[in-house]
Structure 1
Amino acid sequence: MDTLFLLALMTVVVVLIFDYTNGFHDAANIVATVIASRAMTPVQAVIIVGVFEFLGPLLGGTAVANTIGKFVMLDGVAPVLSLSILLCGLIGAIVWNLVTWYFGIPSSSSHALVGGLIGAVVVGVGIEHVVWGFGELAQGHLTGIVKVLAALVLSPLIGFWAGFLIHRLMSALLRAATPAANSRLRFAQFFTAAGLAFSHGANDAQKSMGILTLVLLLGGFIPSFEVPFWVMLACATAITLGIMSGGWRIVRTLGFAIYRVRPVHALGSQLTSALVIMAASLGGAPVSTTHIVATSIMGIGASERPRAVRWAKAKDIATTWIITIPGAALVAIQAYALVHLFLGGHP
């Protein structure tokens, strides 16, 4: 079998595995507050989230896919080498996802993907093949790594303050409510959880769509960077299967370890996260659902009782955010060394 075709096939499979682990890793982000507030049973949550997660990539456009697929420059690089670089970057992201899932740490799959690709590209063909975007930033344009990092850094801050303000507004509206209002708040979460799942699928699955389309382009299987429908369908299926498998270890961290979540908090967190992630998706900005959900809970807790927020746990999560990009990059570099050794030198 032709080496290029075999490598392309392997990379496509690994992209879909990453997409699956992304869903598996991020399942808790979608269902943590729903389950913690007892709005749904785990079975109900998985069914509703699964349906809307699948629809997100199909109906959410391809703006994020375009951003992710164009922050590395591998045009002109030998096809076998370029695909091996993408393969190693994905391996770095997958390994990081699995390690953080095992320890119950809500790290970012988006950070892991970016870190893995940067590490593999830099060690494989050099730093100049990464679109950093600093020159464009000086001219007032966001592109490349600068755009990706800006989205990943600013979105948690937006999530925090949006959660803070939304909870203040909801508290004012519910000031005269009786405990019976909790049942209505739980019912409303059927809609907000669906919205969060849709926005998550629209943003996160597009990252895999972008990489998969880049694989097809570099392998010479498509003439230009346009996401085929079958790629959308494959990525939607993979991330949905991951979500329905469920990375339940992280539910405990997001649902209980940051702040004691009740129905009003859960509704506010889901509404905040869905709005922030969907806005980012429409703007082509890849964001971390993990970051946004966690910081929205922190913002809601800070709005109500700042001392009740477990800031030590928040500090642990923030530390993980910081080390994810270099950690995934190091794993990708090691993977590249092994692939390089296996292929007996540069392809």
Structure 2
Amino acid sequence: MEHLPLFLILIIILGLVFDFINGFHDTANTIATSVTTRALSPRTAILIAACANFGGALLFSGVAETITKDIVNPFSLDNGSAVILGALISAIFWNLITWYFGIPSSSSHALVGSISGAAIAAGGVHILNYQGFLGIVQGLIISPIIAIIIGFLIMKIFQRTLKNLPLYKTNRRMRSLQMVTAGLQSFSHGTNDAQKTMGIMTMALITSGYQNSTAVPFWIKILVAAAMALGTSIGGWKIIKTVGGKITKLTPASGAAADISSALIIFGFTALKLPVSTTHVISSSIMGVGSAQQFKSVKWGTAKRIVLTWVITLPLTALLGALVFKVLSIMM
């Protein structure tokens, strides 16, 4: 890293800032259910999440390679450093705004939107890798739908298997289970969300001529994993309150069901090397779980607000990414 030019070092620093913000912005979702149901204290949940995120980020890299090559071809991207810098600035700005207002927006949508917008501004629509880009967008759209269905089914299974148990025994067992599921969910978050930043940094190395493959360097893995773990340790209480209590009232059983649903889906898409929005998956799992208990128990007003944010994130961050790129191009 000591031989890298200043501009590339700036991109890496901003990438770590994005990942740090991702840590306290998105990782709050992974522990929201266990904190809300009092299975874990906020301090304990954040510690578990930080360690699990670090491990997940360090051990996987498939999603990173997808981000590096499937949105645009980094080997044919002109002015790639400005594109990546513009994308990171846009995504960071969006994450901070939505965090400030307590809206569980998607860092994944923000990053994909910002990259595509900046790249189109640099080289036109044809610069996109259409097949790869559409595959990523399809995954981002399909995953929350699957999460609602899986969350609903798991909760129905829980209701059937636990119906004869006294409530205090059910709550005790489910809180114990949540101690495990919270860790699994945080680990799965690291396997997918951290990879996106690794992919951006690797893309920056390629476009700057410092690397000729899409493999993620080990030093990038360490830096990104550490940044996400540090961000996680700070936490995001505003997001926890929205995801954990304002979508539907959570019990230890419904919280565990949502955790299991989310972890399964995130792991599944990570295995396919496809990025997902962990925010979308977790929030949708909670909607599915709430619907299984009673459709009216889901606070659909909050759900609509969240869905609206999901829908507008991709196009707005694409416009923002294009705008920031144009400004950077003039300055440079």
CA distance in 2, matches of 1:69, 1:250: 29
Q: Is 2:273 the counterpart of 1:284?
A: yes
Q: How much has 1:223 moved relative to structure 2?
A: 2.8
CA distance in 2, matches of 1:68, 1:265: 33
- Please say if residues 266 and 278 of structure 2, whose CA atoms lie closer than 8 Å, have aligned partners that are also in contact: yes
Q: Which stretch shifts more, 256-265 or 331-340?
A: 331-340
- Please say if residues 92 and 330 of structure 1, whose CA atoms lie closer than 8 Å, have aligned partners that are also in contact: no
SS of the equivalent of 2:248 reads: coil
Segments of 5+ residues of structure 2 without an aligned counterpart are none
Task: Check 1:9–1:289 CA distance in 2 against 1; reply closer, same or farther (3 A cut).
Answer: same
Give the alignment's TM-score, normalised by structure 1: 0.92
CA distance in 2, matches of 1:293, 1:226: 29
Q: Which residue of 2 aligns with 1:8?
A: 8
Q: How much has 1:334 moved relative to structure 2?
A: 2.3
CA distance in 1, matches of 2:229, 2:51: 8
Q: Which residue of 2 aligns with 1:58?
A: 58
Paired AA for residue 253 in structure 1: T
Deviations 1:85-123 (A, max 9, x none): 111011111111111111111111000000100110111
SS of the equivalent of 1:180 reads: helix
Q: How much has 1:337 moved relative to structure 2?
A: 2.4
Question: How do residues 177-216 of structure 1 correspond to structure 2 at under 5 angstroms?
Answer: 177-181=165-169, 182-216=171-205
Question: How do residues 245-324 of structure 1 correspond to structure 2 at under 5 angstroms?
Answer: 245-324=234-313
Paired AA for residue 64 in structure 2: A
Q: Which residue of 2 aligns with 1:125?
A: 123
- Please say if residues 35 and 41 of structure 2, whose CA atoms lie closer than 8 Å, have aligned partners that are also in contact: yes
Match of 2:142 among 143, 150, 154: 154
CA distance in 2, matches of 1:121, 1:77: 8
Q: Is 2:152 the counterpart of 1:164?
A: yes
- Please say if residues 32 and 251 of structure 1, whose CA atoms lie closer than 8 Å, have aligned partners that are also in contact: yes
Aligned residue pairs total: 327
Segments of 5+ residues of structure 1 without an aligned counterpart are 134-143
Q: Which residue of 2 aligns with 1:141?
A: none
CA distance in 2, matches of 1:122, 1:329: 9
Q: How much has 1:58 moved relative to structure 2?
A: 1.5
CA distance in 1, matches of 2:173, 2:114: 44
CA distance in 2, matches of 1:129, 1:201: 29
- Please say if residues 30 and 49 of structure 2, whose CA atoms lie closer than 8 Å, have aligned partners that are also in contact: yes
Task: Check 1:307–1:202 CA distance in 2 against 1; reply closer, same or farther (3 A cut).
Answer: same
CA distance in 2, matches of 1:338, 1:5: 21
Deviations 1:237-279 (A, max 9, x none): 1111111111211111111111001100110011110111011
- Please say if residues 74 and 129 of structure 1, whose CA atoms lie closer than 8 Å, have aligned partners that are also in contact: no
Give the alignment's TM-score, normalised by structure 2: 0.96
SS of the equivalent of 2:40 reads: coil
Aligned residues: CA RMSD:
1.2
CA distance in 2, matches of 1:212, 1:74: 11
Paired AA for residue 33 in structure 2: T
CA distance in 1, matches of 2:74, 2:143: 28
- Please say if residues 68 and 74 of structure 2, whose CA atoms lie closer than 8 Å, have aligned partners that are also in contact: no
Q: How much has 1:77 moved relative to structure 2?
A: 4.1
CA distance in 1, matches of 2:97, 2:187: 26
Runs of 4+ with deviation above 4 angstroms: none
CA distance in 2, matches of 1:77, 1:235: 24
Deviations 1:286-331 (A, max 9, x none): 0011101111111011111001111111111111001001111122
